[in-house]
Each structure stands twice: as structure tokens, then as C-alpha cells.
Structure 1
Amino acid sequence: MTQEMPYPKPLRLAGGIDVKQLRRDFLKDGHVRIEPFLHPDDANILRLALLARKDWRLVLNSGDKVFELDADMLRNMGRDHRAALDKAVLESSRYEFQYRYCSIRVPDFFEDTLCTGDVLMQFVAFLRSESVLKLVRTTIGMQQIAFADGQATRYDVGHFLTAHDDAVEGKHRHAAYVMGLTDNWRAEWGGLLLFHEGRDQLAGRRPAFNSLDLFKVPSVHSVSFVNPSAASSRLSVTGWFRSYS
């Protein structure tokens, strides 16, 4: 069961978004940050709603297999089992695609009437609104974009996502997004969104609050390891803008 605070008001874009400049920046770099993205009150409501949720699951992979562990499963896991799991994840990350983070998934398709009281679903529905889709279509130059999907993500100490490009056959992804909900984050804490732009070149984005990072698919990127020095979790909503075919 989710523990949400009701928020019946419609979400709002921030004022002053310069779409023409976003388009120029996207053409130049293949990625862009819209900051601020939401009205500040709405962004804060979304952040507080996610912090209050108790239904987070630890998500990790082993090759092509995906595992999701809820709070009860993690509590009941023995110390030796947890240590063996941590060792396997870190060893795999040296040479293979590997990730570990917490997630609350939103179904790809849902009725907007189900969003009542669920601010996360309300936000994903907002991304599917014509005002947001028009903004994204213009920014990345893809008029065929029809909807967005999404999930809440929380990177705690020891969480990471190794390099990948988001291209999955049949998903029809055109752009990925990261809606940042993390305030006062230091780059030294890790959790950076890194764009792998060449053999020896990286472009990084520090986690921020009320920012929407938008980047083309495919684009090789990763999220760096969150260090033990981090004073909080890296909180966001992530997903893709997609077409039906």
C-alpha cells in the first residue's frame, strides 16, 4: 500500500522556459537540462511524496535477469547472504552491465483517474500532457513522441548504474529523462549522470532539485557510485519519451 499525501491540483510547468534555447543546446550536445522544470511548490510536493513512500524495492541485475527485493525480503536476508550479494554485484560491475538502486515503478499504461492521491502517477500523467509533449517534441525534434513512462528512483550509498545506451528493441524510445529531486548535493558524493561522449571524454551532471535532464536515445551514459560520504539519497523520477511504433 502506498502512503501518499493527496494533491488534487494539476501540476504546472515552471515559467520562463526558453524552448528555442533548449533546441539549440540539444542540437549541440545531444542532452539538455531544463531548470526549473515544475512550479517550485509542485516539485516540493513530488519530493515529499516520494520521501514518504514505503514501497521502494531494491532493483539489481545478474546478466539479463532482473531482481526486485522489497523491504521485508531485505530485512529477512541473512548477513552472509547480503555480503555475498554485494560481492557479486560489485564484481560484475567491473566488466559487465550492472546496476543497483531502489525503485517504485509506474505501469506503462494507466487511466488518469487512477492518479488520485498518487503524486508519482500524477507526475507521469503530467509528462503525457500536450503541453509537456509539445515542449519535448520541439526540443529534440521528434514529432512522433506520443507518451512518457516513468519510475521513481532512489540511489543510496553503494548504488550505481554502469554504462548503457537505453536502446531496447520494440520500446520505441526517443529521449530519456531524469527529473531531479535532490537538493544541496555535492559532486564528491557521486551519483553523477555521466555522458560518455568518446573514448576519453565525459560530460557530467550533478544531481539537482527541480531539474529535468533530457537526452537522446541512444546515448551512452551511466550513474556513478554513490559514496559513503553522501549525506542523503539521490532522488529522482526517470523514464523515456516514446512513440507507439
Structure 2
Amino acid sequence: MTLTTAQTHLASPSATAPYSLNPNLDRTALAECYARTGRVRIYGLLASGAIELHDHLRKRDDWVQVIHAPGAPIELTRQEREAMGTKRYARLDRDVHQRGRDGFQYRYEALRVPDVEEPLDNDDMLSPFAQFLHGPDMLGLIQDITGKAPGRFINGQATSYGVGDFLTGHDDDAEGEYRMAAFVFGLTQMWRLEWGGLLLFHGPHERTAEALVPRFNTLDLFHVPQQHSVSWVSPSSGFSRLAVTGWYRARET
């Protein structure tokens, strides 16, 4: 899913903060876990930049709500949702949850992560983060963990899951994109298990699941394809679940 809505962003004087990888990660242990289970959670991924990115995203007012719908995804700015009125938006909300009963469905807010080939925009903070994700430190870490040399990362987006948001089961396999591994970089502070928004890895026959609670400065890395979902966010949640997601593509041979 790629955002198409034109977007603006808030300039931030702290947006020049560099991103650096934690040099103390136990790559051997991480690689063993990935080889055994097909996924791994990396705590404390960044040595610098995580707090600044979190604060920047919390301040942004140009988030776009994305909704899976027949034909093409629905994309709504916050201003467009407000203009819809309570009754009209409630009907849309009912349709979203009804479609989620029997098929693939999602609803959350998103911001597109700029492509690494686009001009660097330090005011955005997602732009230098894209450069970091595609830089030699991260590519080296991904190779050390997965045992495969990634070509590049693709389709990055920042996501914000608020009350009632969710993502039903899917395996991330997309024809022609050669996705090698998916990642979720968590930027959520002080989240409770009971609030939902859990990253769920589905077990055999969809009867069990391994649940990971949103955390701050963590990277969940998992091979593609693999069935997973994000559980419904409860009204008890104190704030939204923040993350940056995307995929690493297999190197072309």
C-alpha cells in the first residue's frame, strides 16, 4: 500500500538529529533467533535519533487515514474526516468493520517515508531515516541477521494506530516486489498489553498467535511470507501506537 495523497509537513529545528545504530547489538544471538523462528525483536536498535523521531511524528498534523476498500484504498486527511460529519463517518466506520469480518481489512493513519532516491529533506526527519535504513550500517545488520544481502528497503511508511484501528491477517507477499524481510520499528512509549495494537504472528490453522506489545526503539524483523496482523486498539489507550514499517527487498541476481 502506497500513499498517494499530497502531503505537507511541519518543519522542526530538531530534525537534523542524526540516526546511529546501537553498536552493542548481539548479532550472533539475533541471527540464531531469526534462523530458528523466522523473526526477531531487536531492543534498543538506535543509539541516537529515536526520541527525536518520536517527538517529530507526534507533532505532525498531516497524517492520512488509510482504509482498505474495494477497487482502491480510501485516503482521508484529518481535515477531510472532520468535514464528513459524525453520521457520515460513522457509516464509513461500520463498513470498515463489516468488511473486516470476512476478509482483508485495515484502518490506520500513515505518512509515506520518502524514497532514498528523493532529495534529502532534514525538516521531515523521515527523509534522513530512509537514508539510514538504506545505509551500510543497517544493510549490514540485516545481512548479519538474515544471512542474505538485502538489495534495498521499499514502501516505507510511518503508521499511527488510534482507537478502533486494526490490520487483519496477511503475509506481505507481493508479486514482483521480491520482499525478503519485513520490519516494524516501534516508537511507542508506555503502552499496556490491554490496549491492543499487538503485532500478532499467526499460528497453525489460525488457532494460536504470538503477540508482541508495542515498545519504543525496537525493531521487529521477520521473513516474508509470514501471516501476521495488528489487533484492534482499545478506547482505553492513552495515545496512538507509533511505528515505521517497510520491507527489505532481495538483492537482484
The TM-score with structure 1 as length reference comes to 0.94
- Who is 1:36 aligned against? 44
Instruction: Determine whether 1:147 maps to 2:152.
Output: yes
- Who is 2:73 aligned against? 66
SS at match of 1:135: helix
Q: Aligned-residue CA RMSD in angstroms?
A: 1.4
- Who is 1:11 aligned against? 19
SS at match of 2:99: helix
SS at match of 1:62: coil
Cα distance per residue 1:195-229 (max 9 Å; x no partner): 01212221111000000000000010000000011
* Letter in structure 2 aligned against 1:23: A
Q: Does the 8 Å CA contact 1:4/1:52 hold for their aligned counterparts?
A: no
- Displacement of 1:9: 4.2
Q: Distance in 2 between matches of 1:58 and 1:15?
A: 36
Q: Does the 8 Å CA contact 2:115/2:130 hold for their aligned counterparts?
A: no
Q: Does the 8 Å CA contact 1:187/1:206 hold for their aligned counterparts?
A: yes
* Letter in structure 2 aligned against 1:55: D
SS at match of 1:22: helix
- Who is 2:238 aligned against? 231
Correspondent of 1:20 among 14, 28, 32: 28
- Who is 1:97 aligned against? 104
* Letter in structure 1 aligned against 2:184: V
| Structure 1 range deviating more: 89-98 or 64-73 | 64-73
- Who is 2:184 aligned against? 178
Q: Does the 8 Å CA contact 1:3/1:53 hold for their aligned counterparts?
A: yes
- Who is 1:241 aligned against? 248
Instruction: Determine whether 1:193 maps to 2:202.
Output: no
Correspondent of 1:115 among 109, 121, 131: 121
Structure 1 unaligned regions, length at least 5: none
Correspondent of 1:166 among 147, 163, 172: 172
Cα distance per residue 1:9-54 (max 9 Å; x no partner): 4310123101111110001111101110011x41100100101111
Cα distance per residue 1:169-211 (max 9 Å; x no partner): 0111111101100011111000000001212221111000000
- Displacement of 1:4: 3.2
- Who is 2:85 aligned against? 78
Correspondent of 1:50 among 32, 57, 82: 57
Q: Percent identity of the aligned residues? A: 42
Structure 2 unaligned regions, length at least 5: 1-7
- Displacement of 1:244: 6.0
Q: Distance in 1 between matches of 2:251 and 2:144?
A: 18
Q: Please identify runs of 4+ aligned residues in structure 1 that moved more than 4 A.
A: none
- Who is 1:218 aligned against? 225
- Displacement of 1:233: 0.6
- Who is 1:202 aligned against? 209
Q: Distance in 2 between matches of 1:17 and 1:168?
A: 31
The TM-score with structure 2 as length reference comes to 0.91
* Letter in structure 2 aligned against 1:27: A
| Structure 1 range deviating more: 120-129 or 220-229 | 120-129
Q: Does the 8 Å CA contact 1:4/1:119 hold for their aligned counterparts?
A: no
- Displacement of 1:109: 4.6
